């Protein structure tokens, strides 16, 4: 019994430390926080002073705001800026934490499977921390991960992927080849572009990918999990402009 209680205490402490790390490594300078007036949708909310905050680094199905509402309604939050200015809808992209400073809201949504990690996360440390939270929910098939609409797609199933054109998706598969042509690196999951996913990386981004460990040699014959918006370019394609879009399986 004592061992069980000790194990639970250690697990709780590790989880608390992980969440505190999220608060510390995600976002740039702190900006004025406030009290939440209401959730607008699944990843944005209004403060009582009228500012609309967009939770950076995550993707949430449009219209699904119940989980965010239950988590933050009427509560004070602290904010760290994610981008230099507001987006085109005048929302402030930010990493937000409940005012106790111990719980990043993005982390809570990812941990429970109510959000998927996005493509613009910020620092590599933030990406690593939040991707760990998402992976645990993904492996346990929590929340969105239990829904076939949002579950991980198979890179070899080109026809299935083309039904998701214009949508954000998380795709997993084994790389067949890595090629370069005309200033673009092509990571192919099939022998024909029309039949499987292709991930493209512009050569001008190659150094940033390499610094994050996503080198051409690491990509070749690897199993990858890739996230981004599906395009139809004579077959399904995801453009990877940031290294956190690609997760290399270590097993």
pLDDT digits (tens, 9 = 90+) for 120-156: 887 778 888 899 999 999 999 999 999 999 999 999 9
Q: What is the pLDDT at residue 10?
A: 30
Q: Do 58 and 164 have their domain in common?
A: no
Q: Which residue has the higher pLDDT, 27 or 204?
A: 204
CA distance linking residue 145 with residue 194, whole number of Å: 27
pLDDT over threshold 90, residue 76: yes
Q: Do 218 and 126 have their domain in common?
A: no
Residue 103's CATH number: 2.40.50.90
CA distance linking residue 227 with residue 25, whole number of Å: 22
Q: Do 114 and 52 have their domain in common?
A: yes
8 Å CB contact between 237 and 231:
yes
Q: Do 42 and 132 have their domain in common?
A: yes
Please give the tally of structural domains in the chain: 2
- Quickly state the pLDDT bin for 178 (edges 50, 70, 90): very high
Q: Which residue has the higher pLDDT, 237 or 86?
A: 237
∠209-213-216 over CA atoms, to 5°? 70
8 Å CB contact between 131 and 243:
no
């Amino acid at each position: 019994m004592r061992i069980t209680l000790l194990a639970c205490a250690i697990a709780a402490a590790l989880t608390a430390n992980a969440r505190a790390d999220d608060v510390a490594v995600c976002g740039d300078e702190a900006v004025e926080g406030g009290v939440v007036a209401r959730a607008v949708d699944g990843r944005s909310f209004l403060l009582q002073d009228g500012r609309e905050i967009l939770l950076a680094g995550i993707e949430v199905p449009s219209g699904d705001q119940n989980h965010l509402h239950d988590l933050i309604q009427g509560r004070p939050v602290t904010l760290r800026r994610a981008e230099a200015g507001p987006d085109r809808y005048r929302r402030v992209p930010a990493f937000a934490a409940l005012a106790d400073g111990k719980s990043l809201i993005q982390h809570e949504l990812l941990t429970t499977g109510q959000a998927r990690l996005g493509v613009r996360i910020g620092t590599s440390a933030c990406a690593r921390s939040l991707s760990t939270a998402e992976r645990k929910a993904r492996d346990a098939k929590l929340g969105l991960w239990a829904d076939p609409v949002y579950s991980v797609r198979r890179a070899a199933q080109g026809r299935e992927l083309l039904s998701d054109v214009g949508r954000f998706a998380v795709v997993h598969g084994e790389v067949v080849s890595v090629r370069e042509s005309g200033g673009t690196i092509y990571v192919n999951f099939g022998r024909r572009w029309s039949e499987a996913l292709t991930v493209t990386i512009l050569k001008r981004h190659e150094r940033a990918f390499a610094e994050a460990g996503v080198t051409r040699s690491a990509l070749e014959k690897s199993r990858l999990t890739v996230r981004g918006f599906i395009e139809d370019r004579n077959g399904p394609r995801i453009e990877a402009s940031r290294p956190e879009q690609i997760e290399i399986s270590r097993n």
